[in-house]
């Protein structure tokens, strides 16, 4: 029929030999390739001794990870498939095809190069007058760990299961002896069952050992504070002494949990209305100058942001400049953290309470309560700062800077779950995600400039 464009898959085509003709001039792949060229080679883990197959160039491998993460391709097998199917990835790899094992191994071993590239991209943005570090807004978001929450076990339950497994292993060993003596085929399945129970017993024992070490470390940290309180009590007389101070306990509570798959992750929930998930608390510091670039990133194992303010401010590299002010929501309201930053001459704007978010509440009205009176000096200072016109205008920048970053990472890039396990590897992967976001954002800004 003449009304249709003819599309014959078997029609031979004369495609351009030069891959540069396949990729648009404004594609982000060109920016990524130029950005990784600035990363010094000593940051990469390279086998300089030779032997075996030839290595892919580490800068090409880093560019491959950044470009794929920026476009929502995270798994090593999917990245390998993209080297065949995606024109931009094929151009980036110069028509070579690293296998998924090579990609996965490079990602695990080159977090130092990712960190160096993260800084180089931000320095490039500052050189282009697109970034100015001064005021930053910080926030955290829960991202799923590569582990199931059903693999969590309590300290007391782990001990009970170890006893049960020891009994089951003993019974299986007796069955194995009987099967060997009778030379029956059923005995061939027993070694697999024994190995499975032995592995589970070892995992439970390691979980109990981790919880015990954590409890001892916590007790050691609290020992100095306990001795100070004990000494202060001894100086008082009579009833003024008060109740006896309990020494720190170095044994874990019975209900303390540990995950067998990823022990560094924890059960967290986004808010009181959400379900618990096995997660990490991914923190980000974003510049409020309008660039929306992530200037600092880190991972917290705590579901609460209460003790993360100073660490988030310190995550900004010194090479970018000095942080002058920090904006944060009420989850970061902690007098100790606020005063510590103020002693470093950093202005802090933190919400001291959560306001009413529903104009028309569908729930039945509650009886009015008198607002709690808080006389802490730092809360008074926060209310005074956020009560001025300048303070309100500056604090409004928090909502339109850091929160859209998490929205783009989760909804546009599609990153909602870490692929790696363990705190160090998850920290490296989160920095890779932030680096991919920054490349995506900076490339867009350069197009608009």
CATH code for position 332: 3.30.420
Would residue 214 count as lying in a domain?
yes
Quick one: 44 and 103 in the same domain?
A: yes
Quick one: 310 and 254 in the same domain?
A: no
Quickly tell me which residue has 């670039």 as its tokens. Answer: 293
Question: What are the DSSP calls for 189-228, one per residue?
Answer: GHHHHHHHHHHHHHHHHHHHHHHHHHHHHHHHHHHHHHHH
Quick one: 331 and 394 in the same domain?
A: yes
Which of 213, 229, 259 marks a domain boundary? 259
Would residue 126 count as lying in a domain?
no
Quickly tell me which residue has 């705590």 as its tokens. Answer: 302
Quick one: 384 and 281 in the same domain?
A: yes
Domain residue limits at 73? 19-109
pLDDT of the chain, 449 residues: tens digit per residue: 578 887 778 877 776 677 888 899 899 999 999 999 989 999 999 877 666 678 899 999 999 999 999 999 999 999 999 999 999 999 999 989 999 999 999 999 999 999 999 999 999 999 999 998 889 999 999 999 999 999 999 999 999 999 999 998 888 888 877 776 665 555 456 678 888 898 999 999 999 999 999 889 888 888 888 888 888 777 777 766 677 778 888 888 999 999 999 999 999 998 888 899 999 999 999 999 888 999 999 999 999 999 999 999 999 999 999 999 999 998 999 999 999 999 999 999 998 876 555 677 788 877 777 666 667 888 888 888 888 888 889 998 998 999 999 999 999 999 999 999 999 999 999 999 999 999 999 999 998 86
Quick one: 330 and 224 in the same domain?
A: no
Q: In this structure, are residues 81 and 64 in contact, taking their beta carbons and an 8 Å threshold? A: no
Would residue 41 count as lying in a domain?
yes
Quick one: 141 and 179 in the same domain?
A: no
Quick one: 331 and 272 in the same domain?
A: yes
Q: Which of 324, 272, 280, 323 is nearest to 303 (CA)?
A: 280
Quick one: 288 and 408 in the same domain?
A: yes
Quick one: 69 and 139 in the same domain?
A: no
Quick one: 228 and 346 in the same domain?
A: no
Quick one: 405 and 275 in the same domain?
A: yes
Question: How many domains, in total, are found in the chain?
Answer: 3
Q: Do the strands 257-259 and 152-154 form a parallel or antiparallel pair, or are they unpaired?
A: antiparallel
Quick one: 255 and 270 in the same domain?
A: no
Would residue 136 count as lying in a domain?
yes
């Amino acid at each position: 029929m003449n009304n249709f464009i003819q599309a014959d898959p078997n029609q031979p085509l004369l495609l351009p030999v030069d891959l540069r003709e396949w990729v648009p001039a404004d594609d982000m792949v060109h920016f990524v390739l130029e950005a990784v060229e600035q990363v010094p080679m000593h940051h990469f883990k390279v086998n300089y001794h030779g032997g075996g197959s030839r290595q892919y160039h580490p800068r090409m491998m880093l560019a491959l990870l950044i470009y794929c993460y920026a476009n929502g391709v995270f798994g090593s097998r999917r990245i390998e498939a993209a080297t065949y199917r995606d024109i931009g990835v094929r151009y980036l790899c110069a028509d070579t095809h690293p296998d998924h094992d090579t990609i996965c191994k490079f990602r695990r071993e080159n977090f130092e190069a990712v960190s160096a590239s993260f800084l180089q991209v931000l320095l490039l943005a500052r050189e282009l007058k697109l970034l100015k570090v001064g005021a930053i807004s910080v926030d955290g978001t829960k991202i799923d760990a590569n582990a199931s929450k059903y693999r969590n076990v309590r300290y007391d339950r782990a001990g009970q299961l170890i006893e049960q497994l020891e009994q089951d292993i003993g019974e299986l060993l007796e069955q194995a002896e009987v099967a060997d003596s009778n030379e029956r085929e059923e005995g061939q399945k027993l070694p697999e069952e024994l190995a499975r129970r032995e592995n589970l017993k070892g995992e439970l024992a390691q979980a109990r050992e981790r919880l015990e070490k954590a409890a001892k470390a916590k007790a050691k940290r609290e020992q100095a504070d306990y001795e100070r309180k004990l000494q202060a009590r001894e100086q008082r007389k009579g009833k003024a002494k008060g109740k006896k101070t309990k020494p720190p306990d170095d044994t874990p509570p019975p209900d303390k949990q540990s995950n067998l798959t990823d022990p560094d992750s924890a059960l967290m929930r986004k808010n009181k209305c959400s379900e618990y998930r096995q997660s990490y608390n991914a923190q980000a510091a974003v510049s409020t100058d309008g660039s929306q670039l992530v200037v600092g990133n880190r991972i917290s194992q705590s579901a609460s942001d209460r003790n993360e303010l100073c660490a988030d401010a310190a995550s900004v590299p010194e090479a970018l400049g000095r942080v002058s002010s920090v904006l944060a929501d009420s989850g970061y309201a902690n007098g100790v953290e606020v005063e510590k930053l103020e002693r470093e001459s950093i202005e802090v704007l933190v919400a001291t309470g959560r306001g009413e978010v529903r104009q028309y509440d569908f729930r039945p009205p509650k009886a009015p309560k008198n607002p709690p009176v808080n006389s802490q000096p730092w809360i008074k200072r926060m209310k005074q700062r956020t009560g001025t016109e300048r303070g309100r205008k500056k604090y409004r920048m928090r909502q339109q800077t850091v929160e859209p970053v998490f929205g783009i990472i989760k909804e546009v890039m599609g990153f909602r779950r870490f692929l790696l396990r363990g705190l160090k590897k998850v920290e490296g992967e989160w920095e890779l995600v932030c680096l991919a976001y920054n490349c995506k954002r900076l490339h867009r800004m350069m197009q608009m400039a």
